[in-house]
Amino acid sequence: MLTYLDPNFSKQPFPDVHNALKNPNGLVAVGGCLSPERLINAYKQGIFPWFNPGDPLLWWSPDPRLSLFPSQFKPSKSLQRLFKKNKFTLTVNQFFPEVIQACARPRKNQPETWISPEMISAYKSLHNKGFAHSVEVSRNNTLVGGLYGVSIGQVFFGESMFHIESNASKIAFYYLIMKLREWDYHLIDCQVKSDHLMNWGAKELPRSEFIALVNQYCVKSTALAAWKNNSP
């Protein structure tokens, strides 16, 4: 039976993710709110929010779960060459509001976005509390690509990325990996299957294995230098 969360009770526990629906795959609960407390508790349990415009708030923990270990990142040779050219200015947490707004814009073959104003406001609050972070790619002082996600312990939960200039989002992801390695992160949650992420070394893990890793690494301390702006 699907659990309905009280929007006025952010401490209401989520149901066990192993009882999530199989169809649709991984639906854990409906309703609730997007308070920082609710969101942090969700990520710590391997749950994330996703819903289309007009839908109720939906919470997911799909099985399997696409994940990437930073140490196993395998960029293509062309991406490595592009990264080494230093064509872009790379920053961290300098333009979080601009990045999430850019990620929310409609795209080709995707006229609507799941990143609603409510979601934007919620993740800005997480950013202000030190949990949501962005990587920015700029050229000539213009933002041309980036990504954002949530960091808890030594796990980065990826949310969305965008590019205005070709390959800029790939450069953002490459830079993210370099920083996560430097900061001793152990796991990136990529949520659902993506061919280009699998080409870079991501793999689908059984949900039980993914949850065990989240439980292990979310309680680890993050490096003191993490998420401070450092250009390469």
- pLDDT, residue 225, reads 80
Task: Please write the tens of the pLDDT for every residue from 95-116.
Answer: 999 999 999 998 766 656 789 9
- 12 phi and psi, to 5 degrees? -60, 125
Query: 66-217 adopts what CATH topology?
Result: Aminopeptidase (3.40.630)
- pLDDT, residue 53, reads 79
Q: Can you tell me the mean pLDDT for 193-221?
A: 96
Task: Please write the tens of the pLDDT for every residue from 102-155.
Answer: 999 987 666 567 899 999 999 999 999 999 999 999 999 999 999 999 999 999
pLDDT for residue 230 is more than 60 = no
- Written as six digits, the tokens of 223 are 């490096």
Examine residue 64 and say whether the peptide bond preceding it is cis (omega within 30 degrees of 0): yes
Q: What own/partner pairs with CB < 8 Å and gap ≥ 24 does 176-179 have?
A: 176/135, 176/147, 177/70, 177/73, 177/75, 178/232, 179/92, 179/135, 179/226, 179/230
Picking from 163, 123, 133, the residue whose alpha carbon sits closest to that of residue 146 is: 163
- pLDDT, residue 107, reads 75
pTM over 0.75: yes
The residue ranking higher by pLDDT, 230 or 215, is 215
Task: Please write the tens of the pLDDT for every residue from 9-45.
Answer: 999 999 999 999 999 999 999 999 999 999 999 999 9
CATH 3.40.190.90 fits 3-62, yes or no: no
- pLDDT, residue 110, reads 61
Spell out the domain ranges in the chain: 3-62, 66-217
